[in-house]
Structure formats: C-alpha cells, structure tokens
Amino acid sequence: MRSTDIRSTFLDFFTARDHKIAPSSPLIPDDPTLLLTAAGMNQFKPYYLGESVPPHRRMTSVQKCVRTSDIENVGRTTRHATFFEMLGNFSFGDYFKGEVIAWSWELLTDHFGLDPDRLWVTVFRDDDEAERLWRRIGVPGERVQRLGMADNYWSMGVPGPCGPSSELHYDRGPSFGKREGPGGGGPAVDGERYQEIWNLVFMHKRRGEGDGKDGFPILGELPTRNIDTGLGMDRLAAILQDVDTVCETDLLAPTFRLVQELAEREYPGRDGSEESMSFRVVAEHARSTAFLIADGVLPHGDGRGFVLRRLMRRAVRHARLLGVEGPVLPALTASVVDNLGTAWPELERRRDHIRKVVEAEEDGFDRTLRLGSRFLDTAIDKARSNGTSQLNGRTVFDLHNSYGFPADLTLDAARSAGLSVDEEGFGLLLEEHARRAKDAERDRKGDAVARQDTYRRIVAEHGLTDFIGYEATEGEGRILALLKGPDLVERAVEGDEVELVLDRSPFYAEAGGQVGDTGTLRTPGGGALQVVDTRPGLTGLHVHTARVTSGEVRTGEPTEVTVDADRRAATARSHSATHVLHAMLRSVLGEHATQQGSRVEPGRLRFDFSHFSSVEPGALQTVQSLVNDYLMDDPDVRVWEASRAEAEVAGAVALFGEKYGEHVRIVDIGDASRELCGGTHVGHGSQAGPVHLVGESSIGVGLRRIEALTGADALRHYDHQQTVLNELATLLEVRPDETPGALRRRLDVLAETQRELTRLRRADQAAIGERLTSRSKRAGSGWLIAEQVDGVPPEDLRSLALTLTHREGPGVVVLGTASEGKATLVAAITRDLADTGLQARTLLANAGKAVGGGAGGRGPVAHAGGRNPSGLPNALSIASNEARSALTTPTP
C-alpha cells in the first residue's frame, strides 16, 4: 500500500466515524514551551487544558513532526527518523478507551490487513481497564505486556496534558531480532523486532515540571477525559510495503537511491555497518531539512535553527564518509520536493527557497570544516611536540562547540595521527555545557510556567477576554484578577507594578509582530493605573502590565479603560505599511521574499524576509517608491472574516509560525495585499504613509531585515535630513541641490592635498634620515644612532627608525622626541641582531623610567613614553649605553 493510500485510508476511517479533519500545523509551534512540533496533539493542547473550545469534539489529522531526542539512533535502527508524519485521531471529552481500542484494532487488521497474530500490546502498569479491553477483543494475555511510565505514560516533555498510554507493536520477524526473553520476548525485550507503530494516549491528567519520561509529578485531572493517538506513517509504510527500513519506503526511496548515485555505490543492506548507517542518515536528514526550511526554519546557532543546522551538517558529514565530495543537499532536498511536494504543497511553493538555504549552509559548513581542520592540525602538532599521545577533551569540545566541527571527525583525525582522545573529558565538558544551558532554560521558564498556571485558573473561573478594540479605544470593564509576579492578589496601591485581567478590553495584546497597547485605567474609588504593555497570557486572554499611579485598586472593581489613541493610530499605520511593503518586496525581488518575522511599533517597523543577497540600493529605492505610490493612491483597507478554507481559496497569505483557527480574519489593502491578520490597521491606504526605508541588513543565512519609519516619524526624518543638507550647503556656499557635486570636488582637493603632504613628509623624513645616518657612531661590533629629533610627529618616529635600520652590519637606532608635554622613545634593531634573540624592548626598559613611563613592544621594534619630557636627554643616554653593551656582547 502506497503512502497516499495509507493517508486516505486512515482519514476516511475516522471521518466515517464523525471526525473532522484538521490540517497539519507548521513545524514551528504556537507554544513557547516547545521548540518544534513533535506530536499530532501539540496544536490541540489548549483544547485538552480547557483553555479553548474545539471546533469539533472529534478530530483527525496527518501531522508533520520533528523529533531529535533519538537522533543518534537514526540510521542505526530500521525505525527511527527525525522527521515523520503522524496519523492521529483525537477526542475532546467525547469517546475514551473502549472506542479507541476497538477502532485501532479494526483499522490495523481489517483495513490495513496486518496479521492479528503478529500484533502485541503494551499498557501502563496500573491500567487494568486497558488490558481488559484488549483481551475482550481477542488479544491473548501473553501478548499484552505492562510497562512503567518511561514506556507507557505520555506527555509533551513539558508541563501540560498527559496520561497513561497503550501501544500497538508489530512483530517484524526473526530477521529483526530473536524471539527470547521473559514471556517469549515481545516489545518489553526488543523494540527493533517488535516495532511500536501506534500509541493510544488516554489523556486525562496534567503534569508538572520535571526531567525525562518519568521524572515529573502528576498534578491532577484535566477538565475532561480525552484521547490522543499517533500512528507512525513511516513505520506502517515499511511493514505494508515489505521493506527493511523507513528509508526504503516510497516516502524516501527516490532520495535514498539518489544518495547511492552520488556515492557511486550500492547500499550494502541492513548489515549493521557504519557505511549502511551513513546512507540512511543522509537520506533521512535531507527530508527533515527540506520540511524544516519549508516551514520557515533557518540554520542558526541556537534554538530550532540549531536543530536544522545539526541535521544538515550530519547529512553532509555522512555524505563525505561515503566519498561524496561535492554539494549534496541541493540535489537531495530537490528530490524530497519532487517526491512529496504533491502531498505537502508547501515544499513545492518553497522549492527555490529550500535550494538557496541549503546551498549557502553547505558552502558555509565546508569553510567550517577547513577552518576546524587547521585548528585540529595545530592541536595535533602541539600534542606531538609536547610528547603526549592523547588529544585533550577541551580541544575536542572547543572544535565541537566553537567551530561546529563534528566530534567524530576529530576522533578519526586524532586516531589517524596516532593519538588517542580524552573522550571522557570531552563527555564531561559536553555534559556540563548541556547542564548549564538546561539550568538557564529552566530558570527562564520557571516563572513563565507558574504564570501560565495562574492564567489557566483565571480562564477556568472567568473565561476569555472580550476584546472590543477593533471598534473602540475606550470602554468600561471590570477587574477580574490582579497579579504580582505569578501570584494573585486582592489589591494594589500606588507604586505597585501589577498585571491585571479585565472582562472586556479595548487594549490590543501583542501578536503577529504588533506591539501591545498602552493607556490608562481609572476606578470609581480614585484608583488610577498606567498600562505600559498588553500581551496574551493565553490565547484569547489579554494581560495588562500596569503601574498604580494613585489610590488603590481591587479585584472586582469596575474601571474606565482608555487606550493611547495616538500611539494606536501610529502603530496601525506601521502595520498597514508592513503589509504593503511585503507585497512590493515580492513584486521586485520575487515570490521567495516572504515574511519571516516583523516588529510593528508606533511610527516604525522592522520586517524580516527571505532573500540570499543584499538588496541593491536601486532595488530598495524602487520598493520604497512603489510602497509610497501605492499608498498615495489611497487604496481601501477592507477587513473581513471567513473560514480558513475560504481564505486559502481567496489567496490570503498565511505567515509561517503564526497559528490560525478555523475562522480567520483577513485584511485586504487594495488589490496588492491580502493577508490573514489579527492586528489593527488604518481605514485607507493614504493614512499609512509616507514610508521611509532607513536600512537593510543581513540577520542570518538567507534572511534579511528592512527597518522603516512611517507617518509623522518618516516626515520628521525627512525634515532632519533636509536640515543636515541645508547646513552642508551653507558650509560649502552652494545651493542644496549642488551639495553632492561641491562636496565631491572638495574631497578630491582634500585627497590631493593629503597626497602632497604625504610626499613632503616622506621627503622630509628622508632628509632627516640622511642627516642621522651621517651622525652614526661605531659601537662594539656594529653601529649606533641615538638622537633627539625635534619636529618629527611621534606617530612618524617608528617608521623613521625602521628606515634607518636598512643598512649594512648590526646596528641600533634610538630616537626620541618631545611633543605636547610628553616624551616618546623608539628603538629599532637590525635583522641580524634580532636573529640573535635580542629584544628592542630591553634597550628601553630603564630609559622609559627616566621619562616617567615604561617600555612596550616585541621583537626588533619597541617604544617608550612618559610625561617627563625634561628627562629625554638622560633617557637617550641610558638607551645608548644599553645599545653599546648589546653590540659589544650580542645576546645568544
């Protein structure tokens, strides 16, 4: 059965049972606690927690997922992958264990045709009900195994919904492992032979903070009993298509064959060799790379960008081990797009973008390898010269952490050089680095998690905020909650910094790049607050950060609410300008120049977009002109709502990384821009301008940033530029429009004058040099020039001294000058003296003290200085004596 049939069979089965299909969410999750989407239930987390009402109580999906927790197993086993499609069905307070167990068995045996006698089941150790249900539908007791939390209790790895699970496993036969162990083997003994294919999670608990799969507390019950399941597409396809590994299914086979073509050798099969592992790693990571980039992830030094970079570099590294020297990722990711672009259209839409990202990153990694190799060669040479037979762990760690140099490459190179590696030391450093990073992340998240719990309690008691800000900037509300830190309080007094939640509010909460509103609140009892920010605590819950400026405020009080209308209007101008800027960038640079992030503020905006080179000044000016010309035509700004499907048919642009529900808000600005957007906007295009682009820069591989001013801020910038231009014109005594030409002529004259001054200075130095040379004296086995030279700038003293050393025989030059209350000394020695080991600095060590300072420098040139110019003659005398001594008895 092909993968397309597997998807349709699964979805058809559950839609026939009243499930509504949910589209896959992006790999960039709308959840600050998650780095990447790693499970089908991630997008449904608010429904499980009771924070939002699901559009339907039964859902099903095919979800894109990326997990790297088992990355070292990729290629080593037949089943592990970093990217995979998760087939899932979900119940929000509807059906529970009995239905999902019966349906999963029916689907696997009747519709996918799996042999019932090869299916095994695991349940949580205390789940008597699940075991009873399995045995009721005919699973023999010897094929039902009970396991602990690490295996059969599922969570997202962070505080949130969780619950005991039951997993279905398929016996792939003796070629995948031996049938031995307690109870005849089974998944409790061998996960490679008895492969997990479907996990049924009975989601009705909530977990707290903790480590690992079982190191966390269970805090209590969720509002309802729910179901979350995940059936691994790759693993099921491998079974149904009768192939050994996930790389040989139709999901990856074309890419897997291409790896063999590039390596110019056949895959050796599942023989356990490092070579066979490399073939699978390259193909599997190429797929993950394509999907991550298509969903807006770019390679970076931390976060999800680091995950992508690690996958790409592992793929390139294993390709090099297979003997592939040229670029590999452009061709491999293109094959992923060719193979899966129909099922996942975002791959096809972003084909060119994917190619450019992988080309740039692979080229950069090749440079990293060259740089790291030089560092490694130096470390190996140093170890040999020190007589040690081991490369220390710090070297391996620095290469890995600072250069991105693969540790296994360092190990290979060291062994080839006959050195061992302190792998234990490297491991300890790596562990300590990971611990510090984890501790920092835990500290960062600790307060946020506590606040989230408080917000959930508020929503459970009062519901979500009634946002009235699209229609008004003033209104009346009631204070539902006051928070100091994560704690609820009943009152706050003048000077207190608090967070507050209202039942209804006109304050826009920061989202979609638009900053939150500010303003004031007043209560009937004389309490007043200054709102300095508004942000979403949870989706749909507006949290106002405020300072009590007078009186006292209490929970439950009514309040008059006023948004800073001028600031809101200025922000709206920037937001509308951002939409038009996005449209015009794509029209000038190409459709690949899509938004990757933004910051919309009063009077200014920051816009990040995909592009692989700097935008030429001419193109940037064209974009600015197009934006302003379009806004001056005063296009209508229309805001309308529709279903997500209707918006997609209408061509509305959805931004990667943003979460949209089934019902969406669309903003049209004339016929140039149509985007899904929840922000505030102007009523007509002319209200957004003018727009002035003040800068364009790189912020990462394939990622550019434009900064701009809008409205009054843009006009003030123009005024400032005009003032500067007028001042320059006055100084140059020309009209403003003549300033560039006049300034260019003045600069040409200045450059010519500077060249003439340089020529005269060199001529003067040559004359001084001839005079000093004529006054040189014999000293020991060489010659000595020691003179005070007045009128020579201190900065020229060094070059003059060096010029004088270009003569026959060993010699020393010591020159001194006084200027602006300071004494400067320079000593220079000839090359033959320097070759004996003499340091010019030793000649000035005592001389520097004579002028109230010290000496510095290394090798054949040194300098000294101090604030006692009267001591200069004595200093020259001291330095002369040191030089004579050195010339009489050269340093060995």
Peptide bond before residue 327 is cis, with ω within 30 degrees of 0: no
Tell which residue, 81, 85, 91, has the closest CA to residue 7: 85
DSSP string for 85-109: EEEEEEEESS--HHHHHHHHHHIII
Tell me the β-bridge partners of 121. Answer: 144, 168
579 is in an annotated binding site: yes
Structure tokens at 753: 């004058």
Dihedral Cα 353, 357, 363, 368, nearest 10 deg: 180
Tell which residue, 469, 664, 693, has the closest CA to residue 574: 693
Tell which residue, 291, 265, 290, has the closest CA to residue 279: 265
What DSSP element (H or E) covers 839? none
CB-based contact 153:213 (threshold 8 Å): yes
What DSSP element (H or E) covers 558? strand 558-563
169 is in an annotated binding site: no
Coil vs helix vs strand at 272: coil
Q: Which amino acid, 170? A: Y
717 is in an annotated binding site: no
CB-based contact 581:605 (threshold 8 Å): yes
d(CA 610, CA 356): 10
CB-based contact 514:680 (threshold 8 Å): yes
d(CA 11, CA 301): 38
Beta-strand pair 420-421/390-391: parallel
Tell me the β-bridge partners of 736. Answer: none
DSSP string for 375-416: HHHHHHHHHHHTT-SEE-HHHHHHHHHHS---HHHHHHHHHH
What is the sign of the dihedral through the CA atoms of 182, 188, 190 and 196? positive
Q: Which amino acid, 327? A: P
575 is in an annotated binding site: yes
Structure tokens at 868: 């006692």
Question: How many other C-beta atoms lie within 10 A of the C-beta of residue 848?
Answer: 24
Q: How many CA atoms lie within 13 A of 704 on its CB side?
A: 19
CB-based contact 474:506 (threshold 8 Å): yes
Residues in the chain: 892
d(CA 207, CA 869): 76
Radius of gyration from C-alpha coordinates of the chain:
36
d(CA 313, CA 551): 60
d(CA 525, CA 479): 13
Alpha carbon 611 to chain centroid, angstroms: 17
Please enumerate in sequence order all residues whose Cβ is within 8 A of that of 175, keeping only pairs 6 or more positions apart, or say none: none
766-769 long-range contacts (CB < 8 A, ≥24 apart) are 768/792, 768/800, 769/800, 769/803, 769/804
Scan for tokens 């094959």, then name that residue. 335
Residue 791 has phi, psi (to 5 degrees) of: 85, -5
CB-based contact 171:120 (threshold 8 Å): yes
Q: What CA–CA distances, in Å, run from 258 to 283, 288, 513, 652?
A: 8, 16, 41, 36
Structure tokens at 562: 């006023």
Structure tokens at 194: 């008895």
- Residue numbers in the known binding site are 575, 579, 677, 681
Q: Please report, in range form, the residues annotated as the binding site for Zn(2+).
A: 575, 579, 677, 681
